[in-house]
Structure 1
Amino acid sequence: MISKYREQFNQEFSQEKYQHFKEVLKQKSGLEPAFRISESPIFLTKEFEGKLIDACESIIDQIKALSSETLEKAIPENCKVPNDTKQPHFLTIDFGICKNDKGEIEPQLIELQAFPSLYAFQKVFEETFCEVYPFLDEIKNKMPREDFKNYLKEVIIGDENPENVILLEIYPEKQKTAIDFVFTEKLLGIKTVCLTKVKKEGKKLYYEINGKLIEIKRIYNRVIFDELDRIPDLVTEFDFREDIDVKWVTHPNWFFKISKFLLPLLKHQFIPKSYFLHEFPENENLDNFVLKPLFSFAGSGVNLNPTKEVTDAIEDKENYILQRKVNYEPVFKDINGEFSKAEIRMLYVWRENDERPILLENLGRMTKAAMVNVDFNKKDAIWIGSSNAFFGEE
């Protein structure tokens, strides 16, 4: 969308540079990224950035205005975790880059989560783009790396010793996001611990290192814990629903409270109309809506073309929403003259004593398929996968 940067990038791009780019990421982490890295950043105007921030600030206002009773309704009874917090530590807000009826490019809210995304990875990702393509320096994120680190440190580690703080995941070495765990460890000096390795004594939790038990006082939680039931023969020493002496970052209840559950409650020009399935009005046309289960992760269970037969067959209709379709606009030109579509995720942290969250970074995802998920792209497609957005003047 910013032609001068797009043209310069496309002129400088080569497959050799792309391989070098991925090699630099591998050298920094010691890992191959387990997800596809897009060849290109996303270039967006400052005007578009203003629209994104306006929508995010409105969403934050609306969330803050909701009662705790309303938010509590989002948590399934079998998923409630004790010792909830007044606000989440993380807030991520996803927008499609779309075209409206007037032909204008604008953001449209896709979903939002109070769950950490690839914060540490995205900072390194952006820095690596700037190393390989130095002209990007002039439009990079203005937040100094040290400030970025300090915000994350304050949120995740707080006043504790880093050795008493862990990044918790289930089988972390098997996760697609493992590269982010490595960068988080490097940035903050904390350990990544598998849920199956956590020890419990009374109300205290521990992990073992070199035969020594270390008490866990804060958990940077990366486990989608309602998915644990799907893992066969899983044996753990503690259950999330137990009352334990630990500080959750962020508390698991917020995964449900800030989720697709909120979409029917939010209003803004950049928020497409949504309904709970059991409240879908008769005067609306199902053809104009996408069906989404409330608590699926990474796009699983989404039906782009639901039929009445499909919706009628769903028994727990209160656990699904219908969201008005938006038109992702292919505006990101590749070196072959073809265009990709994209989503952008705004990555916020919310310090415990702050009234509002702070925007730290962004995460982009590019596609040439109907869904912004690289699994749906053709094998030889380019300008697809994980990316980062740069904002500048035309």
Structure 2
Amino acid sequence: MADRTFLSWPFFEERHRELAHELDLWAGQNLGDIDHADVDTACRNLVAGLGAAGWAQHSGAMAGESLDVRSLCLIRETLARHDGLADFAFAMQGLGTGAISLFGSEAQQAEWLPQTRSGQAISAFALTEPQSGSDVANSTMTATLDGDDYLLNGEKTWISNGGIADVYTVFARSGEAPGAKGLSAFIVPAGLPGFEVVERQQVIAPHPLATLRFTNCRIPKSALLGQAGGGFKIAMSVLDVFRSTVAAAALGFARRALDEALERVSTRQVQGAPLFDLQMVQGHIADMALDVDAAALLVYRAAWAKDSGAARVTREAAMAKLFSTDQAQQVIDKAVQLHGGDGVRDGQKVEELYRDIRALRIYEGASDVQRVVIARQTLGAYQGGA
């Protein structure tokens, strides 16, 4: 059984403990037989199920509300511990509409958030381009004013929920200034003329991914999120919130790997004694437990800081994502090793976790990018203090 003692930490309120308990019960009853063979259907069903059960309500915030990052992290950690695709389905409902929650007008929120929070519509976040992943300021897709409309031209790639989403938050160069100051964010419904899915991408832990192409795709001015030229700020603000939740998902994977390892070393016999009796095995378990707790502290520090009113938690979120995803990879690798040949057998949970974790060290800012962010933030704080 996964450790629950962390819920008594002062980062949390009673409502967070109740949320974690209720979701864990629901996940145990509803996520045991997810068919990963057809990921499009599975994700559609998961979004609908999360919406019907009320969990997707936490993915967005209407006017007058605020995103509760601790709840987002607890939900992602719990879902990831049970099923990686369930975590993905919830996460994209939040990331896909994060810009609408944070920067959308009341009309934009009223049009889309009730649909995504109820599971009736699937959302996506279209930022990455073939030549610009983490280098958002280098985006080349364009949004050109044409009367009362914008014309979108260009490509987005590695877009989660690409091909199944009903609404996309799309970032494009609107030209107000060079570099980061010339980007804007737009709400783009699926199915518009000039908007096509040109490739579905397959990865080691399958989930819906696609390359999108826009060719004179016409959208009204009312699709603009926030101010023209404010797209970079919007993207960074959204990632500031949701980067901590990626760390939480990695933490959920790591907790599950530790549980699977504890079960293995407690029941597997070696020379007439439990595998756990070997001191080297005890060392592995100790390292895994240490990494899990250290990751949890970083994750929920970042979430608590944001919920407590910090304008930005760039450094804290980057630390949480870097440490949690990298160390979860190590925890899961140890779990695979402790399972021996069974650890790489198709259908084993630790083998699934081994595939699930790898992408988290890349998306929403690769590990090396997080190191750059942390270094710059640390230097900036030092120089500011000096």
TM bucket normalised to smaller: under 0.3
Q: TM-score scaled to structure 1, two decimals?
A: 0.27
Greater RCO, CA 8 A, separation 6+ = 1
Say which structure is richer in helix: 2
Q: Whose strand proportion is higher, 1 or 2?
A: 1
